[in-house]
Amino acid sequence: MTDDGERDPIKAAIEGLRRQAESAPRGDGGPPGVRLKVDNEVEGLRRLEALLFAAEEPLDIESLQARIGSGFDVPALLSGLQAKYAGAGVNLVEVAGKWRFQTAEDLQHLLQFRREEPKKLSQAALETLAIIAYHQPVTRAEIEDIRGVAVSKGTIDLLFEQKWVRLRGRRRSPGRPVTYGTTDAFLEYFGLPSIGDLPGVSDLKAAGLLSSRLPPNFDMPDPGRIPAIEEDLFEDEAEAANFHVDFMDEEDRGEE
């Protein structure tokens, strides 16, 4: 039983398998693998739980599978572990396609801790980050066209420093401009499972971040339908780094 009186779904499933194994005929006449399946599931849950509790950062399914070994159904184990901790003081959550334990939302007020906060973003940086998030993959010229002012190297550099923005590749258009997109660190910081979970217009209005009286021609991309514009992705980090250096070497154009 859980703390709130509900039956633990994982324990109930394991107990059912054990009863099946105990009532089955002994020897070769019984169903093969029942006890092995029970023990395997228990061991898989123990390994998964230990890894996620000890991890310093969220882990993806591939990393978990590699660490706990073959023979375990990691997605199924994650679902069971998530159900087990659903009403606990810590919950298992998916963020940016990765998994981590975190304090239950209704108990966060009990914790006091210190952490290094990212540098406060200027209005220009906030606008640039929002444009990249909702319009990615987006070029520097497209950012400037949407904002109506030039983008300074300091603004882009700050977003790179926070590791919220990355270089995606080159657009397949004249001039082969570089495109920008958000990172997993951006999703993790803002608690988003995926870029499609960015708030839409109605969510922003409800949160008081948008005026209820928007201009009739106001348009905002649907985060769940970010277009797949053709582009050539960078082959490696070194190539991406060179483009960043090239950008930083450009003359800083003032920004409003």
Given a cut of 60, whether residue 224 has pLDDT beyond it is no
Return the amino acid letter for 155. Answer: T
Average pLDDT over residues 36-50: 79
Q: Please report the sign of the dihedral spanned by the C-alpha atoms of residue 4, residue 10, residue 12, residue 15.
A: negative
Query: What pLDDT shows up at residue 136?
Result: 86
What percent of the chain shows pLDDT beyond 70?
Answer: 60
* Residues in a beta bridge with 59: 99
How many Å from the N-terminal Cα to the C-terminal Cα in the chain? Answer: 60
Helix axes 237-249, 153-161, angle to 10 degrees: 150
Distance CA 202, CA 254 (A): 34
**Range 28-52 average pLDDT:** 70
Q: Are 3 and 9 in contact, with CB atoms under 8 Å apart?
A: no
Q: What's the confidence (pLDDT) of residue 52?
A: 92
Query: Is residue 115's pLDDT more than 90?
Result: no
pLDDT confidence of residue 199: 80
Considering the chain, what is the average pLDDT of its residues? 75
Q: What does the domain layout of the chain look like in residue ranges? A: 9-110, 123-249
The whole-number average pLDDT for the span 19-33 is 52
Q: Is it the case that residue 99 has pLDDT exceeding 90?
A: yes
Q: What is the pLDDT of residue 194?
A: 86
pLDDT in tens, 5-23: 666 666 666 676 666 655 6
- Say which CATH class 9-110 falls into: mainly alpha
Per-residue pLDDT tens for 201-220? 676 666 665 555 555 555 56
Residue 132 sits at the vertex; the CA angle it makes with 126 and 137, to the nearest 5 degrees, is: 175
239 vs 79 pLDDT, higher one? 79
Q: What are the structure tokens assigned to 89, written together?
A: 């003081």
Half-sphere exposure of 42 (CA within 13 A, CB side): 13
Mean pLDDT of 124-146: 88
Architecture, CATH, for domain 123-249: Orthogonal Bundle (1.10)
The answer to whether residues 53 and 84 touch, using CB atoms and an 8 Å cutoff, is no
Please report the pLDDT score of residue 176 as a whole number.
87
**What are the pLDDT digits (tens) for 144-196?**
988 888 888 888 999 999 899 999 888 888 888 889 999 999 988 888 888 88
Average pLDDT over residues 127-152: 88
pLDDT of 30? 46
Domains 9-110 and 123-249 fall in the same CATH topology: yes
Can you state the angle between helices 61-68 and 74-84, rounded to 10 degrees? 100
Question: Where is average pLDDT lowest: 32-41, 53-62, 89-98, 189-198?
Answer: 32-41
Note whether 9 and 88 are within 8 A (CB). no
The whole-number pLDDT of residue 195 equals 84
Give pTM, 2 decimals.
0.50
With 80 as the cut, is the pLDDT of residue 250 above it? no
